[in-house]
A and B are shown apart, each in its own frame.
Chain A
């Protein structure tokens, strides 16, 4: 199984709503990532979890709250978002130690298309 599964595929939410994005992988990867991608732009790193601990937070606003309940799951909790937060949110996973002996690349999910109204 080389898949990263994200749910939901599409989400429309109001600025006062609370919602969560979910991500799951069963490749034994111990690093998991959230990226935000605006149209016609490359993905921007938001958060990295390594061994279920937050390793990198790229100065993301607190209205985005990540959670890693176990080694296979990654959530992104959303609250009081703004219209400019509308984007494709991508989850990815990789080995925590990326060397030639292990796979070096990150595997990406299909993304959640988020629209904030």
Chain B
């Protein structure tokens, strides 16, 4: 079975400051990893994904994430946030052997202050 832990339920940060949203996962099999963003009253939008290869992946809106297999982490970072980045961020995994179940973390609310 897989599980995902997002270590911070809320992260307040000032505009133009850097931010890191933390994600740890547990799995007995290899997984693909994702970060999704959800703006208020919207669906989920994929920010980035790690499948294999380079451990640093770049996504949309200036976000990037680093896969660390030894620490089973997939932290999301942005060097300078904007007010418009205020949203809920979900880390998620699926087994890389297939399957339909995406396992989501509890979510982190990023609140960017002016």
Contacts and interface: CB of A to CB of B under 8 A. Distances in A.
Q: Do A and B bind each other?
A: yes
Contact of A42 (B42, B46, B90): B90
Given A100-B51, A104-B94, A110-B43, A43 B104 contact: yes
Nearest to B43: A108
Contacts of B42: 110-111
Contacts, number: 59
A97 B41 CA distance: 30
Interface in B52-110: 52, 88, 90, 94, 96, 98-102, 104-107, 109
Interface residues of B, number: 26
B44 A43 contact: yes
Contacts of B90: 42
A90 B44 CA distance: 9
A98 B92 CA distance: 15
A92 B43 CA distance: 9
Interface string A13-42: 000000000000000000101000000111
Contacts of A43: 44, 104
Contact of A105 (B34, B43, B88): B34
A97 to B, nearest CB: 6
Contacts of B105: 42
A56 B43 CA distance: 21
User: B41, B45, B52, B106 — which one has the most chain A CB atoms within 10 A of its CB?
Assistant: B41
| 3 nearest A-B pairs in the assembled complex, by CB-CB distance | A42-B104, A108-B43, A108-B44
